[in-house]
Amino acid sequence: MAAPQLPELPGLAAGYGALLRRDLQLAWRQRGQAVNPLIFFVMVTALVPLAVGPEPALLTRLAPGMVWIMALLGTLLAADALFHEDFVDGALEHLVLSPQPLWLLVLAKVTAHWLVIGLPITLLSPLLGLMLALPDAGFVPLLAGLALGTLVFSLLGAVGGALTVALGGRSVLLSLLVLPLYVPVLIFGTSAVTQAVAGGGSGGPLALLGAIAALALAVAPFAAAAALRAGIDG
Amino acid sequence: MARRWQWFHRLGSPPGFYRASGYWLPWLAVAAALLLGVGLVWGLVYAPPDARQGNSFRIIYIHVPVSFLALAGYYVMAVAGAVHLIWRMKLADMVMTAAAPLGAALTFVALFSGAVWGKPTWGTYWVWDARITSMLVLLFLYLGVVALRQGFSNQEAAGRACAVLALVGTVNIPIIYKSVDWWYSLHQPATIRLTAAPSMHPDMFKPLLVMILGLYVFYALVLILNTRAEILARERRTGWVRELAMGRNQD
């Protein structure tokens, strides 16, 4: 007996590309919304000197930690919207039901999220380093560390966003779930900068950040996919 | 084959577990009371005082066993979550629900007893020591699971979501511990030194062993009690719970 003829399905690359394009297009059409976390990032950093005083020596000491914490909060704010808008308009259920594997679609959404939030925050960070009197040696490790670190933030944020996608009081709950998981990234990210500023190499922490990013890239999409299947039943 | 697994299926169903655990409870309660009683009196009264810390070291008999269980409890929760996620076993989800607040409470007691111990030893309640910081992060992980469970109105989905979160946390715990260790060795202040000598005197160590064992039994007891309460709460509309409540249950 001949197998029933199935319609030709698009491959993995086509599915990934289509969702990535759609998310980037959506972000472009709602530019204002995508820019808000960046404004938050700059604004809160500007509050630091107002709170602790403008002495450059003090700011230099605080700069790596402050820039990293602000970057963390900026991406966290945006992680809430990662799945929720699609959940509200019903698109998320179609993604879950689609013949493409869900982890791949999650990966596409995370890629778009990183390009829209993580990458701009990384590129903005030297400006904040400048405002907080970060020494010259710290800029390259800050950029490299944030590029990797915001990717991990987006990946773990996707797990948290998927778990809480249908719940009330979402954004606070999301931070409760995800913040403890951000601890290693924060530690390695800030120490890459402080070690470079102190005159040592920053290769070690950056390599560890890269390892964490690789692990998160391998595991988080599957976890977020499982979380989405549970989460949409809220 | 069928007979060999019958006990497992009977135990794995909520009413079966409820009935079977009813027989274990008295034994566990007696064992826990005995072990904890002996360990506490032995440790707090008869063990010799520490050469440097005097009597304040005796808090170790609470602090160390509780910290053990706080960590082990996370793995109990995560394994139960994995079992629920893979085999959709209702009982595993109930165990996980019971283990989360219990683990959070133990972690809090570990942190609290550590702070009380820190005051006479280091002169301060709180230091950013690697182990203390990791325990704090562990407390946050537990609280996340508890909070997520409460956020859901659909029990079934809540179980799967919490299981995913617990498993993600399990992958993260070694990384968190290593990173906090590393962070501490970077910032280590010179004045504070943990006085845990590499080898403890056997007179001090034996009561500690009894306490650790006793707390494991106590943990099992409380976990089973919590699970039984969870079973009753979730199955309150079923016939066997109604029979139980009406007092017509003969076995």
Closest CA to B129 of B181, B172, B176, B69: B181
Per-residue model confidence as pLDDT tens digits over A128-173: 898 888 888 889 999 999 999 999 999 999 999 999 988 877 888 8
Residue B197 has pLDDT above 60, yes or no: no
Q: CA A151 to CA A149: how far, in whole Å?
A: 5
Answer yes or no: do A163 and B175 touch at CB < 8 A. Answer: no
Angle, nearest 10°, between helix axes A139-163 and A102-113?
A: 140
CB A133 within 8 Å of CB A64:
no
Band of residue A1 on the pLDDT scale cut at 50, 70, 90: low
- Beta-carbon separation of B148 and A169 below 8 A: no
Minimum distance, in Å, between the CA of residue A41 and any CA atom of chain B: 25
The owner of tokens 């039984």 is B228
> A interface mutation test: which of B85, B145, B149, B168 has the most A CBs within 10 A?
B168
Give me the mean pLDDT over the B29-33 stretch.
Answer: 93
Residue B45 is predicted with a pLDDT of 85
- A42 within domain boundaries: yes
Q: Is residue B28 helix, strand or coil? A: helix
Instruction: For residues B166 and A216, give the distance between their C-alpha atoms in angstroms, rounded to a whole number.
Output: 16
Give me the number of domains chain A comprises.
1
pLDDT of B2: 62
Question: Which residue's structure tokens are 């820190």?
Answer: B118
User: Do B186 and A181 lie within an 8 Å CB cutoff?
Assistant: no
Q: Tell me what pLDDT residue A2 has.
A: 64
Residue A3 located in a structural domain: no
Which one of A168, A181, A233 has the shortest CB-CB distance to B157?
A233
Name the pLDDT band for B185 (thresholds 50, 70, 90). Answer: confident
pLDDT of B78 over the 70 cut: yes
What is the band of B199 on the pLDDT scale with cuts at 50, 70, 90? low
pLDDT for residue B250: 52
Packed helices B60-87 and B155-187: angle between N→C axes, nearest 10 degrees: 140
CA distance A15 to A101: 9
- A4 lies in some domain: no
Provide, as residue numbers in chain A, all residues whose Cβ is less than 8 Å from the Cβ of B152.
167, 234
Write out chain B residues lying below 8 Å of A159, CB-based: 164-165, 168
Which range (A3-12, A27-36, B214-223) has the least confidence?
A3-12
Confidence band (pLDDT; 50, 70, 90) for A189? very high
| Residue A170: closest C-alpha in chain B | B151
Does a structural domain hold residue A5? no
* Residues of A with Cβ-Cβ distance to B168 under 8 angstroms: 156, 159, 181, 219-220, 223
Closest to B92 measured CA to CA, from B6, B160, B38: B160
B110: left (phi over 0), alpha (psi -120 to 50) or beta: alpha
- In tens, the pLDDT along B141-181 reads 999 999 999 888 888 889 999 999 999 999 888 888 888 88
Chain centre to alpha carbon of residue B158 = 21
Contact A202, B139 (CB under 8 A): no
> What torsion do the CA atoms of A162, A165, A169, A173 make, to the nearest 10 degrees?
-10
Select the residue from A159, A183, A202, A217 to test the B interface by mutation, using most B Cβ atoms within 10 A. Answer: A183
Each domain of chain B, given as residue ranges in start order, spans: 30-44+57-188+203-246
Mean pLDDT, residues A32-45 taken together: 86
Write out the DSSP string of B154-176.
Answer: -HHHHHHHHHHHHHHHHHHHHHH
How far apart (Å, rounded) are the C-alpha atoms in residues A72 and A58?
22
Range of the domain at A221: 13-231
The pLDDT mean for chain B works out to: 85
DSSP annotation of B88 reads -
Average pLDDT over residues A26-50: 87
pLDDT for res B111: 92
Please report the pLDDT score of residue B198 as a whole number: 47
Model pLDDT for residues B107-128, shown as the tens digit of each residue = 999 999 988 888 888 788 888 8
